[in-house]
Chain A
Amino acid sequence: MLLPKLEYLAPKTIEELTGFIEAHQGKAKILAGGTDIIPNMLSNLYKVDYLIDIGGVEELRDISYEAGKGLLIGAGAKLKTIEMSSVVQEKYPALQKAAGEIGSPQIRAMATLGGNTCNASPAADTPPALVSLGAGVVIAGKKGKREMLLEDFIQGNRMIDLKPDEYLEKFVIPDVTPNSACRFDLITLRAGVEIDIASIGVYICLDDSKVIKDARITMGSVAPVPLRASETEQLLIGRELNEDLMDKAAEMCASEAKPIDDIRASAAYRKHLIKVLTARTIKETHKAIELSSGTGSNR
């Protein structure tokens, strides 16, 4: 198995990166970890004239947390680094779990958060967790920068809102809020190096009287994009959580899922899995808020 002929560019600075992208727009792709792009090119999914390797641009790997602002993660940050980061473990466990479940230790040492989003597979693990965390993205290019919510950036199966002269610079995840938690769960056929058959990110925020005041539920692998279960969110908001509400939410979320039949699972089974995952993850998230209530940490 050989790759088609290509040219390789390795910028060392943001200026060089921007210059290369501008010069070769439409004929180039960014090479981050390579764990999607190289296998995809080996399978003839696409080919490019230029690969622009961002591995040498250190700023794109930065992970920094600032109280009051939140977490900034460079598009080139490795999944392994995110998984092992103490601030991610402590404040954003949904992201830690999503990043830590991808592929194998080998893949996680190579792959990047930006690559997982930009490859935009419907079964990508990090987007549902990130969307439920309220993540935004910063897109950059010679013409300047723009920001948008991640759920607007991912537009379809392998489609993102990125112009040929732009690149994904970083993710912006809001700071933790009191009385809230976010959790992520997934189901795969085998333990590792597997493509999810269903996944879910659940964010819940309670007010002082334990009423749900905000919710973000994002399903993965059951639509072309990470899918917000907006009707289920509306069902929950303004109510206090009990068994009955949880069951109703699980049913409603399963009805909002839009899965297909494929070699890994049937649509019907995926809907069933969403029902199970919703109940389980809402329960886990709610419990996390109860355990940490008053401390203001997103645990």
Chain B
Amino acid sequence: MKQVIELNVNGMNYEVAVDPQDLLIDVIRESIGLTGTKKGCGEGDCCSCSVIIDGDLVLSCITLAIACQGKKILTIESIEEKDGKLDPIQQAYVEKGAVQCGFCTPGMIMATKALLDENPNPTRDEIKRGLSGNLCRCTGYIKIADAVEHAAEQLQKRSEN
């Protein structure tokens, strides 16, 4: 018998019917309809499914939906500017050519946001470490690291103005 639980995603409360064994990523994508979060490996290795729960960057493909009641969940859909423009992190990825097929990109951007929230001025090594879980099969990672550096600069500039 499914239970109805309430999940807070991107600031909104959603009532969803779940079985205890339902994974968060499936509930986000299929019950709530937010398909920006991607299921790559489905076993906690590739980090495409990265979301931020109560400020921590975590993996939605190995998290039970039922365990997330009362928590604040942020998905890639929360990364946007008010007027529909791209967020500085997204803009940096575009400008630096850090997106090819785009499948890893939502996870990469969530990891970038988590990194820059904790460490607004990371070194290249800290960037590599912060994104060390996220796999990309297309880009070779260099332009992704460039994008994170650029995003950090742009966010610093913005906060100085």
Contact status of A103 and B21, CB under 8 A, knowing A8-B67, A34-B63, A193-B45: no
The yes or no answer to B15 lying at the interface (CB within 8 A) is no
- Bound form: Cα–Cα A241–B39 in Å: 52
The yes or no answer to A262 lying at the interface (CB within 8 A) is no
- Are B111 and A107 closer than 8 Å at their CB atoms? no
- Are B66 and A8 closer than 8 Å at their CB atoms? yes
* B133 partner, pick from A4, A7, A39, A107, beta carbons under 8 A: A107
- Are B114 and A7 closer than 8 Å at their CB atoms? no
- Are B47 and A106 closer than 8 Å at their CB atoms? yes
The yes or no answer to A235 lying at the interface (CB within 8 A) is no
The yes or no answer to B36 lying at the interface (CB within 8 A) is no
- Bound form: Cα–Cα A65–B110 in Å: 34
Chain A residue at minimal CB-CB distance from B134: A104
Query: How many residues of chain B have a CB within 8 Å of chain A?
Result: 30
* B21 partner, pick from A5, A80, A107, beta carbons under 8 A: A5
The yes or no answer to B29 lying at the interface (CB within 8 A) is no
- Are B67 and A106 closer than 8 Å at their CB atoms? no
Chain B hits for A67, CB < 8 A: none
Chain B hits for A148, CB < 8 A: none
Interface of B is mostly: mixed
Chain A residue at minimal CB-CB distance from B49: A106
- Bound form: Cα–Cα A283–B111 in Å: 36
- Are B132 and A2 closer than 8 Å at their CB atoms? no
- Are A34 and B62 closer than 8 Å at their CB atoms? yes
Chain B hits for A103, CB < 8 A: 133
The yes or no answer to B34 lying at the interface (CB within 8 A) is no
- Are B20 and A1 closer than 8 Å at their CB atoms? no
Chain B residue at minimal CB-CB distance from A43: B43
Residues of B at under 8 Å CB distance from A?
Answer: 19-23, 26, 42-45, 47, 50, 56-59, 62-64, 66-67, 111, 114-115, 128-130, 132-134
